[in-house]
Amino acid sequence: MKLDIAAKTACAGTALAAALLLTPAMAHHSSAMFDDEVELTLSGVVTRFDYLNPHAWLYVNVQNDDGTHTEWGFELGAPPRLRRSGISPNFWQAGDAVTVKTNPLKDGRPAGSLGGAINAAGKTFGNASGLAPPAAD
C-alpha cells in the first residue's frame, strides 16, 4: 500500500512539474501582447534585421509627423520557418526603404507583429496586399 501511495505521489509530482514547465512555453507563443484590432501601415528605413531564435526582428526608423524618428521593432517567425518561406538573413539590409503592416503592441511601445512588408524594389514579405513600395531615397 505504501508503494502505491509513493507511486501516486511521484506521478502527481511529475505531472505538476510538466505543467509548470510547459506553461511558460505556451505563454511565449501567445500573441496577446499585439492589438489585433489595430493595423498600422508605416514606412521607414531598415536599421537592422536580427535573424535569431526564437523570433526574428526587423527594426525600422520611422519618421514622425514632427520630423523626428522612432525605431520600431517588428516580430517575425522563427528563422527555420522564415528560411522555408525564402526569407534569408540578408533579405533586408540596413538602409533599405520599406513599408510595413503591423498589429502594434497594446502597451504603446513602438513595436508590433509584422503582417506584411514591401521594399522599394517591390520585394514582399507576408501579406503585402494593399502596400505600395516606399519611395527610394
Contact 132, 120 (CB under 8 A): no
Contact 74, 80 (CB under 8 A): no
% residues pLDDT > 90 (the chain): 74
pLDDT tens for each residue of 89-126: 999 999 999 999 999 999 999 999 999 999 999 999 99
In the numeric block, the cell 522555408 is attached to: 84
Question: Alpha helix (H) ranges present in the chain?
Answer: 2-28, 79-84
pTM: 0.77
Q: What does the alpha-carbon distance between residue 55 and residue 86 come to, in Å, rounded to a whole number?
A: 16
Q: What is d(CA 28, CA 127) in angstroms, rounded to the nearest whole number?
A: 23
The phi and psi torsions of 40 (rounded to 5 degrees) equal -105, 145
pLDDT digits over 48-74, tens only? 999 999 999 999 999 999 999 999 999
- 74 — phi, psi (to 5°)? -125, 120
69-75 and 111-119 as β-strands: parallel, antiparallel, unpaired? parallel
- Residue 64 has what pLDDT? 94
